[in-house]
Amino acid sequence: MKTPGARIAILLAAFFALVATGCATAPVAPSPKPKLVVLLVVDGLPQRQVVDYRDQLGPDGFNRFLQQGAWFADAHYGHGFTVTAAGHATMLTGAYPHRTGIIGNEWRDPATGIATYNTGDAAHAYLGHKTAKLDGTSPKNLLAESLGDVLRAADARAKVIAISGKDRGAILPAGKAGTAYMFMKQTGHFATSTYYMKEHPAWVSAFNAAKPADKYLKAVWKPLLPEMAYARSVPDAQPWFARGGKLPRVMGEKLDEPGPLLYDDLYRGPFLDALSLDFARAAIAGERLGEDDATDILSVSLSGHDYINHAWGAESRLSHDHVLQLDNLFAAFFRDLDKRLGRDNYLVVLTADHGFMPAPEFSKSKGIDAGRQSGSQTLAKLNAALKAKFGEGAWALGWSAQAVHLNNALIAERRVDRGALEDEVKRVLLAEPGFVAAFTRAQILDPTTPAAPYLDAVRKAYYPGRSGDIQAVLRPHWMFTSSSSATTHGSPHPYDTHVPILLWGPRWVSPGRREARVEVTDIAPTLAKALGVRPPSSAEGKPLPVGP
């Protein structure tokens, strides 16, 4: 009987043999269709950061797209609640939340009020890991077909692999027919769930057995450039920053050994992104992606930028440097893809799931009206006003994907005029400084409702069986939070909707900047055209003008 140490040694040998074999493999002959489509997602990357730092980028990271590929200067999301799950559900379905059903990262069931997580599924569990009640384990809640689903239905040999530091960042791009792998803060491993398989392939076990996350204990995130190169960014340690807002940062600085605290710390720096790309390399070798005449899809969502921007803002030096760190990581990843597959055999798309608002304190420093709107305080004001007008009771039960969730049972029991109650909710919301608009369910669903600012974006974010009763829209530069620090996203304003759409693939993409406004829903139809398959059934975008 082999000892545990011997088994690990065998797995490690298998893994490194796969990687070595992959690196030694001569690039395959050019194909009329891409051998591999790579979707790269930088979680929380606004388009402004790509262009603002362009003069500091290397020749072959972001500049592979900006100089050799097609990039769209005016690319946006069209839905109003711009959060991670909604964005990741849109990319490869070509559909907004009103079709995907993924209205937010979480929401309340309108009938029961029970919390629902976007990729939660109690029928499935993580392989080899504890699974909490609301952990993401399957695409059950995704109601739209994805490009990977179309591709695999057309050719069962096609493989669809999605990787992320977040469960939703992997599960939603994978669709129903792909396979998702998520980084586990418990162990520093990547794992999938029982929805996809009963046990990990050998290459996954080998990767995890090497404990690659552990090498980042005491790793130092240092600025890549001299201090003066960051003069256009906000200096470190601002009053509105969350803790740790200065460089250099030491990963697990106070820890004596690797563990969950280290693995969580990796999200706030470039190291989890590096680890995710290493796992992507292992997936390419282990699954032999792009090596036959059936096109494969690899989605890699890098989570670090979102955590950095939440904590310190997209205007910070930390965020600025992280863009440059990503630039280097992409350049190395592209070199490896060139070597393994050949430059004429793969197509890459880079986008983001949402942008990021400037921290309200930063906006105020620029003379812009900005602030923080507390959800809990607003809910208390709502209930006080409703109590005064309609009698005792908890009329507003809470927030659900930035909509007010009303006590529908109480409304029915008291036989209250629903329209009058909803009008009072809207009156209270619009009296608050942080809201610019509010729409009732009836206004959203009635096609004869007169056109109004933000109504179209709200409609695209609204799914009747899941969304709340009165959808609120934040005023520009106002943040929905009870926190006095950090910043976020989630509005229909350009700083949250304007994201990169960058494509590279010499056989399918002609270089150049495109000025026309486009939307993220256009990505899936564009890729479908390149792959020679139909667009996903719920797609509402159109192919982008990228051809040679």
- With contact defined as beta carbons under 8 Å apart, do 108 and 115 qualify? yes
Specify whether 84 is catalytic. Answer: yes
- With contact defined as beta carbons under 8 Å apart, do 77 and 354 qualify? yes
The pair of structure tokens assigned to 236 is: 């470190």
- With contact defined as beta carbons under 8 Å apart, do 183 and 265 qualify? no
The pair of structure tokens assigned to 120 is: 């939660």
Whole-number Å distance between alpha carbons of 392 and 390: 7
User: Which residue from 409, 407, 402 is spatially nearest to 422, judged by alpha carbons?
Assistant: 407
Segment 387-394 long-range contacts (CB within 8 Å, at least 24 positions apart): 389/424, 390/414, 390/416, 390/421, 390/424
Residues 6 or more apart in contact with residue 1 via CB below 8 angstroms: none
Residue in the block written with tokens 């890729």? 527
Residue 514: exposed, middle, or buried by beta-carbon count in 10 A (0-12, 13-18, 19+)?
middle
Catalytic member of 82, 84, 192, 440: 84
- With contact defined as beta carbons under 8 Å apart, do 343 and 506 qualify? yes
The total number of residues shown for the chain amounts to 548
Helix orientation angle between 271-287 and 317-341, rounded to the nearest 10 degrees: 20
Whole-number Å distance between alpha carbons of 128 and 126: 6
H/E run at residue 98: helix 97-100
- Reply yes or no: is the peptide bond before residue 248 cis, omega within 30 of 0: yes
The pair of structure tokens assigned to 79 is: 């839905």
Q: Which value, in Å, is the radius of gyration of the alpha carbons in the chain?
A: 24
Please list, residue by residue across 175-195, b when 16 or more beta carbons sit within 10 angstroms of its beta carbon and e when fewer do.
Answer: bbbbbbbbbbbebbbbbbbbb
Whole-number Å distance between alpha carbons of 288 and 195: 22
Q: How far is CA 449 from CA 84, 403, 426, 452, 458, in A?
A: 29, 19, 16, 9, 13
By annotation, the residues acting in catalysis are 84
